[in-house]
Amino acid sequence: MTRSTHPLSGRRLTGIGAAASALALLAGCAGGAGGDGPGQATGEDSGFEYGASQDDVDAALADLEPVTLTFQSGSPSEISTTGEQAVEFKEEVEERSGGKITVDIAWSMSIAGYPEVVDALQDGRVDISYHLLGYEPQRFPEATDIGTALASVKYSPQVGEMTAYAVGSAIGWSNEDHLQRFEDEGVTPLVPFITSGAYSLNCNSEIATAEEFENKQVRIGAASQQSAADHFGAVPTSMEFTEAFEAMQRGTIDCDLSPMSAKDISGVYEAAPHLTYSTQASWPRFPAAYMAGSSFADLPLAYQQIIADSSAMSLAADVQGYINSNAQHIDDLHSVDGTINEFDDAWQEQLADYIPTLQQEAIDNGTIDDETLTRITELEEEWTATIGELGYEDGGGMETINEWVDRDADFDEYAWAVYEETGPLENRPGS
């Protein structure tokens, strides 16, 4: 891939690869030791500047005690499409810290499932965890409504995913009420809003029209997705995406509405091999986040900064995981003789006409405002241009993404741009 140079202040930290992880601004301390807090030394902890040399970082860490952090990943293993992200994050942090920070990975939310994540962070069972905020709309209402607002972002299997991710990051960091929710729960919003990959349907029969979709039993996640399914006369059922495969086998649902990364984890394509997606209009996005637990503030500033700065590369892996999951799912469907269809124009026009109704409901909730929608439109234009300047483009559509996408593409420059321009750098510990 040929890319133009993008002027970024950040630089690779240790050069371990194209991406670091699906984590960002992460910190915690389940295995921390020493001093007044985990890893603390008796001297002054002044941290280091963003972009500092490794020598400067080593000097800042010289008197600090080692810590061990437990990170809970939603990926099933290191060999899954998204699993490499957690492994690379671990390597990046451990190398940058000279081995003083150890990251232990717990796969498949094995310590605390999604309903327990916040409690587990509060009581110290985990230090860092991925969380699907959309499963707790009462606890994180702003997140759900931001996801609804992002449905207006145009979709494509690579550039569209990259644009939505960057726009979501900027909106999440700028919504003060959303950030306050984390503080009220006693956790730290390391990445306060992750725009999960675009949603599509896997069904036990082919569908492409509103008539074919009507009366289908559909697994959904977010409340706004339920409203959209209701609008088309489908019958939405709320359950975790990990339960979709068994529900499909039992015949209790006809379709699963999920992003490709979730399909990769659940294996739902084996029971529902018929994919239907849309490009002219999108389902409301499902919000996720990375959070640090109650001991975050006890970590030395330099340790917090290492984790924060390492997240720049993690942004690359996060988006790359969504894109590669799109390609992997097409491969998976071919392996089971599945079908791939785009909803017809009439269905997509109907969804596009309904999205403003959902967005207005979100505004009426008081969680977002008209300015949020305006800002999303502006950011979409800005980031589409930036991504193009960096040399990224779609080489085709969803049906052939497994043929044209570069699964080893370098997303580093994009990651630095998102990190520096959407809020993470402004919220860097010590800033």
Q: Which tens digits make up the pLDDT trace of 311-332?
A: 766 778 888 889 999 999 999 9
Rounded CA separation 283/75 (Å): 23
Percent of the chain exceeding pLDDT 70 equals 89
| pLDDT, mean over the chain | 88
* DSSP-assigned letter for residue 330: H
Task: Let me know how long the chain is.
Answer: 431
Euclidean distance between CA atoms 217 and 188, whole angstroms: 37
Q: Give the range among 39-43, 46-50, 170-174, 287-291 with minimum mean pLDDT.
A: 39-43
User: % helix / strand / coil in the chain, to the nearest 5?
Assistant: 50, 15, 40
Where along the chain do its domains lie?
54-195+286-322+361-421, 202-282+339-356
Distance, in Å, from the CA atom of 259 to the CA atom of 286, rounded to the nearest integer, reads: 9
Give the strand pairing for 255-259 and 188-195: unpaired
End-to-end Cα, the chain, rounded Å: 35
Pick the CATH number of 202-282+339-356 from 3.40.50.970, 3.10.450.50, 3.40.50.300, 3.40.190.10: 3.40.190.10
Instruction: From residue 320, give the alpha-carbon distance in Å to each of 91, 127, 393.
Output: 18, 25, 13
Please determine, for residue 381, whether its predicted confidence score (pLDDT) is greater than 50: yes
**pLDDT by residue (tens digit) across 241-289?**
889 999 999 999 999 999 998 998 889 999 999 999 999 989 999 999 9
Candidates 4.10.780.10, 3.40.190.170, 3.20.20.80, 3.40.50.300; correct CATH number of 54-195+286-322+361-421? 3.40.190.170
pTM of the model: 0.88
